[in-house]
Structure 1
Amino acid sequence: MIDVHSHIIPGIDDGARTMEMALEMARQTAACGVTHLVCTPHMHWGTFDNTTEIIEQGFAQLQQAVDEAGIELGLSWAGEIRINEMVPAWFKQDKLPYLGRKEGKNVLLLEMPHSNMPAGLDQLFRWLMNAGVQPLIPHPERNRDVWKRPEKIQWLRNQGCWLQVTAGAFTGRFGEQVQEIAMSMLANNQIDVVASDMHDTKRRPNDMGEAFELVCKAASKEQAEQLFIHNPASIVGITQ
């Protein structure tokens, strides 16, 4: 499996706190069947003021530690970008770290607030896509506006966004309501990618293995492979 969303680079956001913790996360990730992990620290203006330089430096240290520990896990890096007024400026300054490139566009993990879907999203999405950027929206199933109005999921797709559901949503880690939304999205073919959004090994571990089995049972093995392997591999640029 290819996991395109994790918070494993230590000490720069609310994920791994130490390198030892990061290595535990890497071992758990490999053990659950993930062969390649994208490290995506938060870029959340005013909260986690990460830059591509900070992320790249942290990634280099993590890569070296994983190699020295002999953990068989491919790694790359990008970022999880919180929607804010700086996004267009960061784009123009070439400061946005992309997951990869697909269908002629750079794929950006673009996070909405958990509390709501801000006004003007359609304008931002249109601007980005006109600029050659494909928004991939993580965990819409955990957004409170979506809880109130599930039709917002299809609205996001109608704007041209791709959607990434958290593996733990299928396992029930975020509660029954989130699980039901994730299952509904699966049934309605509204998911492009499933990823872990791993933050640690206990409260927010890598649930990709268990989620893959659940999706196989709820849909089919072919659909699970599309969401957990083929689609993310095509985004990251991994040849299968």
Structure 2
Amino acid sequence: MIDVHSHIIPGIDDGARTMEMALDMARQTVDAGVTHLVCTPHMHWGTFDNTKPVIKQGFDELVNEVDKAGIKLALSWAGEIRINEMVPIWFKEDKLPYLGTLDSKQVLLLEMPHSNMPAGLDQLFRWLRNAGVQPLVPHPERNRDIWKQPEKIQWLRNQGCLLQVTAGAFTGRFGDHVQRIAESMLENNQIDLVASDTHDTKRRPNEMGDAYKRVTALHSAEKAEQLFVQMPRKIVMSE
């Protein structure tokens, strides 16, 4: 499996706090059946003011330690960008790190707040797509506006967004309500890929293996391969 969303680079966001924790996360990721992990620390203006050079430095240190520890895990890096008014400026200044490309567009992991769906999303999504950027929205199943109005999931798809559901949503880690939304999205063919969004080994572990089994049981092995392997590979291996 290829996991496109993780917070494993230590000390730069709310994920791994130490290199030791990051190595434990890498081992857990391998045990979950993941062969390639994309490191996507938060770029959240005013909270985690990460930049491409900061992420690259942390990534290089992580790769070195993973290699020294003999952990067989391919790594690459991008970022999880919180939606804000700076996104178009960051694009123009080449400050946005991308997961890869899909259909000639650069794929950007673009996070909404958990509490709501901000006004003006349609204009931002349209602007990005016109600029050659494909928005990939992570964990819509955990957004409170979507809890109130599940039809907004299809609205996001109608805006041209790809949607990534968290593996833990299928295992019940975020509660029954989130699990039901994830399962409904699966039934309605509204998921483009699944990723772990792992932050540590206990509270937010890598549950890709268990989620793969759950999707297989709920739908089919072919659908699990599509969401956990084929679509992530198509994006990430373009790089």
TM over 0.5: yes
| Aligned mates of 1:54, 1:193 — CA distance in 2 | 27
Change (3 A) 1:196 1:63: same
Matched, 1:201 2:201: yes
| Aligned mates of 2:89, 2:227 — CA distance in 1 | 32
AA matched with 1:76: S
User: C-alpha root-mean-square deviation of aligned residues, in Å?
Assistant: 0.8
| Preserved contact between residue 100 and residue 238 of structure 2 (Cα < 8 Å) | no
Q: Residue in 2 aligned with 1:11?
A: 11
Q: Give the total of aligned pairs.
A: 239
Cα distance, 1:237 vs structure 2: 1.2
Q: Residue in 2 aligned with 1:93?
A: 93
| Aligned mates of 1:30, 1:233 — CA distance in 2 | 16
| Aligned mates of 1:82, 1:175 — CA distance in 2 | 24
Deviations 1:6-56, CA, capped at 9 Å, x for gaps: 000000000000000000000000011000000000000000000000000
Q: Residue in 2 aligned with 1:81?
A: 81
Deviations 1:51-79, CA, capped at 9 Å, x for gaps: 00000000000000000000000000000
Cα distance, 1:230 vs structure 2: 0.2
Cα distance, 1:238 vs structure 2: 6.2
Aligned residue runs from structure 1 range 66-215, under 5 A = 66-215=66-215
Cα distance, 1:234 vs structure 2: 0.3
TM-score (norm. length: structure 1): 0.99
| Preserved contact between residue 101 and residue 238 of structure 2 (Cα < 8 Å) | no
AA matched with 1:35: T
| Aligned mates of 1:236, 1:157 — CA distance in 2 | 21
Identical aligned residues as a percent: 77
| Aligned mates of 1:193, 1:107 — CA distance in 2 | 13
AA matched with 2:118: P
> Where does structure 2 lack aligned partners over 5 or more consecutive residues?
none
| Aligned mates of 2:19, 2:2 — CA distance in 1 | 22
| Preserved contact between residue 9 and residue 22 of structure 2 (Cα < 8 Å) | yes
| Aligned mates of 2:45, 2:73 — CA distance in 1 | 30
| Aligned mates of 1:66, 1:186 — CA distance in 2 | 34
| Aligned mates of 2:93, 2:121 — CA distance in 1 | 21
| Aligned mates of 1:93, 1:226 — CA distance in 2 | 34
Q: Which runs of 4+ in 1 moved over 4 A?
A: none
AA matched with 2:148: K
